[in-house]
Amino acid sequence: MATLIAFACGSTSGGGGAKGTIKIGSDLPTCTAGGKSTQNGIDFAIKQKNAAGGVSGFTIQFVPFDDCRQAAYSADAGVENVTSMLGDSKFLGMIGPYNSAVAKAEIPRAAAQSFTMVSPSNTNPCLTKDLSTCSYHPQDLRGGKPNNYFRVVTTDDYQGPAMADYAYKTLNLKNVGVLDDSTVFGAGIADTFSSEFKKLGGTVTRDSYKKEQTSDWRSKLLTFKAAGAQAVYVGGTDDQNICIPRKQMKQIGWDAPYMGGDGIETPDCINQASGNEVGISATSAGADATQIPGAKSTIDAFRAAFPQPNDFGGYTMQAYDATNALMAAIGRAINDANGSMPSREQVRKEMAATKGFVGVIGTYDFDQNGDNSLKIVSIYTVQAVSDPTQSTGVCGKTASKDCFVWKTQFDFAKSSG
């Protein structure tokens, strides 16, 4: 019966490939610049694939979903979106979500139906690793079903330490004030930064705030400064106003580095820092595409299709890769199904079996937890550039020439052996 419906729909869609249409969904907070630029990467990969004839005779249809509610990502909205996808048998996988908290809510729903999820940006380690610092076990999220969740980025347990290494060894800082936005992500990344920085021999002063309760961070910043801090590390995201304290540092006459995770590598962060954005440093849980030989042609083609400076973001190429990896798995699953529409379980199985996938951000596999074999963290710092359209890091909206510029990268796969 399902086949019959699929066939019927396929034949009415007209413009589709010879065998019909396969849908790939996305679940991203497209109210944010980060979510939007990530969605562009998926869109681009699918258009490219369809222009080249689709996947084994099927046309791929991209159906983007938005998980924003009232200006910020919402796990509830994400679950609603996944439920919509699960209700349509043509959806064989999804790219997303963008935020780890959303993934935590979505994985149980998707796992129950072997629905493949590939996240271009989730960095919370607890989603895949059973660590003592986590409040849940990854196998519980999957309800005993085989793993359906994959990600092409490195986890936060590397992001925090990478910045700690950079601050202590490269910038030669010994005392840092650490502020987090009281979210799971923000507090988590601030913890990993703090423990690594202390392990190296540095001193840390901690505090947290909540967005709805704080507009003035100056007193807190002042106590950091009075405690001898030479820089501020923030754990959080721009939708929690994490970069307004950066502006207020100028108001208290404090000129010092401002560092954080990938949640601050955004145009909104530069906007919030208004006038004090230069000197913000952020980690990104992945390699910079410009640092990988062979990625340039893809980036150039993307730039031609999406010309605005902020069409390209920190996770655009990760999303592009995630989409191609998923489409490759769908292609193999079609072979498994003898050329017809594969089942979701066939797609999931092939995704897990991915070996030596050659993507823009590197060549990699997925381990049994769904983590990829790359462990690269990049570091970016805001500075004035002459041509923002050539920047791989994002730029400000009003301060359009102040952009995140790649500084260095840490490869934890190599260092840990």
Six-digit token string for 240? 């929690």
CB atoms within 10 A of CB 384: 12
Residue numbers 12-31 binding another protein by CB under 8 A: 31
Please pick, from the candidates 193, 209, 302, 366, the single residue that binds another protein as defined by CB under 8 A. Answer: 209
Six-digit token string for 141? 């999220």
Q: Is 84 exposed, middle or buried (0-12, 13-18, 19+ CB in 10 A)?
A: middle
Please pick, from the candidates 185, 217, 357, 404, the single residue that binds another protein as defined by CB under 8 A. Answer: 217
Listed in sequence order, the DSSP H helices in 166-203 are 184-200
Please pick, from the candidates 23, 129, 174, 247, the single residue that binds another protein as defined by CB under 8 A. Answer: 247
Residue 24: HSE in the Cβ half-sphere, 13 Å Cα cutoff: 37
Q: Which is nearer to another protein, 63 or 68 (by Cβ)?
A: 68
What's the rounded Cα separation, in Å, for the pair 356 and 404? 30
Name the minimum Å distance from CB 189 to another protein: 17
* Strand bridging mode 376-384 / 402-411: antiparallel
Contact criterion met (CB below 8 Å) for 277 and 270: yes
Please pick, from the candidates 71, 301, 353, 384, the single residue that binds another protein as defined by CB under 8 A. Answer: 71
Please pick, from the candidates 30, 154, 159, 271, the single residue that binds another protein as defined by CB under 8 A. Answer: 271
Q: Which is nearer to another protein, 162 or 399 (by Cβ)?
A: 399
CB atoms within 10 A of CB 272: 20
Instruction: Single out the residue of 299, 298, 262, 273 nearest to residue 378, CA to CA.
Output: 262
Residue 384 sits in the site that holds another protein (CB under 8 A): no
Scanning 156-164, 270-278, 307-315, 345-353 for contacts with another protein by CB under 8 A, the matching segment is 270-278
φ, ψ at 345 (rounded to 5°): -65, -40
Please pick, from the candidates 8, 131, 252, 305, the single residue that binds another protein as defined by CB under 8 A. Answer: 252
Name the minimum Å distance from CB 203 to another protein: 18
Scanning 37-45, 113-121, 214-222, 315-323 for contacts with another protein by CB under 8 A, the matching segment is 214-222
- The number of residues that bind another protein (CB under 8 A) is 36
Residue numbers 389-408 binding another protein by CB under 8 A: 398
Q: Is 233 helix (H, G, I), strand (E, B) or coil?
A: strand
Please pick, from the candidates 244, 322, 333, 352, the single residue that binds another protein as defined by CB under 8 A. Answer: 244
Residue 72 sits in the site that holds another protein (CB under 8 A): yes
| Ramachandran region, residue 293 (left: φ > 0; alpha: ψ -120 to 50; beta: rest) | beta
Q: Which is nearer to another protein, 213 or 416 (by Cβ)?
A: 213
Residues in the chain: 417
Contact criterion met (CB below 8 Å) for 155 and 371: yes
Residue 220 sits in the site that holds another protein (CB under 8 A): yes
Residue 228 sits in the site that holds another protein (CB under 8 A): no
Q: Which is nearer to another protein, 5 or 226 (by Cβ)?
A: 226
What's the rounded Cα separation, in Å, for the pair 227 and 203? 10
Residue 208 sits in the site that holds another protein (CB under 8 A): yes
Q: Which residues bind another protein (CB under 8 A)?
A: 31, 68, 70-72, 179, 182, 207-210, 212-220, 222-223, 226, 239, 241, 244, 247, 251-253, 268, 271-272, 274-275, 398
